[in-house]
Chains A and B, each alone.
Chain A
Amino acid sequence: MSLKAFHVVFIAASVSLAAVMAAWALGNWRSGGSPADLAWGVGSSIAAVGLIAYGAVFIRKLRHISYL
C-alpha cells in the first residue's frame, strides 16, 4: 500500500472521528447541554464535510500515482 492509499484510509478515519464527535456533541446538546455543545457539534460536522471535500480533491490531483 502506497502513502497515497494510506492517506485515503487516514482521511476516511478522520472523517469518521469528526462524525462521531459531531454525534457526541449534538447528543449532549439535545439532552440539555449548553450552546457550546451545539457549536462543537456544528464545528465537527463542518470538519467532516471539509475532510470529505479534501479527500476528493486529493484523489483527483494524485490520480497518476499508484495505490500499491
Chain B
Amino acid sequence: MEIPYTYKPRPDTGLYNAKVGIWLFLASEIMLFGALFSSYILLRVTSPAGEWPMVEKAWPHGLLNIPIGTFNTAVLITSSVTVVLAWAALKMNQFGKFRIYMVITLLCAFGFLGIKSFEYNEKFTHYELRLKNGQVHTGHIEVNGKHAGFWDFGSIYNLERLGKEQVKEISFTADPAKPKPGEKHAEGASHEHKKMTVKVEEISKLDAFILRNHTFFAIYFVVTALHGLHVLGGALVLGYFAFPGAKFWKKNPEQFTNRIEVAGLFWHFVDLVWIFLFPVVYLL
C-alpha cells in the first residue's frame, strides 16, 4: 500500500509529508540554537566590566577576524542562492544546470569549513600569558624552539604541562597593544610584535584561546562547532543528492525535486543561523 502525500501535496494543507517533517525538525533546531544564543547573551551581559585581558574575566573584544568572518558570510549567502537555483532548475526540467549549481553549493560549503578551521587554528595557537609581577600579554609561544600547532592537540601548552615536561623557559612573541573599538592607535604606539624569553617560574597563567581558558571561548567554540557540524551534515546530504542520489530524478522527478526543496530548506536554516551568529559573535 502506498503512503499518501509522499510527494503530492495534501489537498487541505497544500503540503507534502516531507515538508511538514522538515519544518517540525527545524522548529526543534530553533530551540537548540535559541538556547545557545540566550546562553551567549546572558554570559556576556553578566561578565565583569573592563578590558580583557587586563581584567581576567571581562568579555574579550576584537579577538575574531572580522574580514575572514565577513568573507565566510558571503560564501554562505552564495551557497543559499545556488541551492535555490538548483531547485528552480529542477522545476524547469534542467537537470544539467541543477548539477552545476549543486557543485557550486558544495564548493561553498567546504570552503566555509576550510576557512573556519583556519580560524580555529589561529585561536588554538594563540596564548594568554599572565606573569606573577602582574604583566599580561597575548601572543604566540615557542617551547624548545617549536610552535604549538592545531592538529597536534597534545601541543597545546599550559603551566601544568610545562611543569611536567620540566621546561625552564619559553619564547613568547607578544601581540602589539590594540586600540579600543573606534579608537585610533596612539601617536608613536608600537605595532611591532615583541619577542621575549620568559622563565616558567615567573608565569602565573598560560593557556591557549581554547574552551577551558575563558567563558567567551567556551560558548564561541560550542556554537560555531555545532553550526559547523550542521554545515557538514547539510553538505553530505546535498552531495548525495547531487551525485549518487541523482538517479532518482529519472524514476520520479517530482519527488526528487521535493527532496531538493527539503534539503534546501535545511541549508537555508543553517545559513540563517550564521546570519544571526556572525554579528553577535564577531561585531558586537
Contact = CB atoms under 8 A, between A and B. Distances in A.
Interface string B77-90: 10011001001100
Given A7-B80, A62-B88, A21 B283 contact: yes
A3 B268 contact: yes
A7 B88 CA distance: 12
Contact of A31 (B81, B182, B264, B271): B182
B279 A17 contact: yes
A13 interface: yes
Contact of B264 (A3, A20, A28, A62): A3
Contacts, number: 58
A20 to B, nearest CB: 6
Nearest to A17: B275
Contacts of A34: 184
A21 B279 contact: yes
Contacts of A58: 84
Interface residues of B, number: 30
A10 B268 contact: yes
A10 B272 contact: yes
B23 to A, nearest CB: 7
Nearest to B83: A3
Nearest to B261: A3
B275 A3 contact: no
Interface residues of A, number: 29
Contacts of B14: 66, 68
A10 B265 CA distance: 10
Nearest to A7: B84
Contact of B84 (A3, A13, A24): A3
A51 B73 CA distance: 13
Contacts of B261: 2-3
A65 B275 contact: no
B15 A65 contact: no
Interface string A16-45: 010011001001100111100000000000
Interface of A: 1-4, 6-7, 9-10, 13-14, 17, 20-21, 24, 27-28, 31-34, 47, 51, 54, 58, 61-62, 65-66, 68
Given A9-B272, A21-B283, A68-B14, 20 more contacts: A1-B23, A3-B87, A3-B265, A3-B268, A4-B84, A6-B265, A6-B268, A7-B268, A17-B73, A20-B283, A27-B182, A32-B182, A32-B183, A34-B184, A51-B77, A54-B81, A62-B88, A65-B88, A66-B14, A68-B15
13 contacts: A2-B19, A9-B272, A10-B80, A13-B276, A14-B275, A17-B73, A21-B283, A27-B182, A28-B181, A28-B182, A33-B182, A34-B184, A62-B88
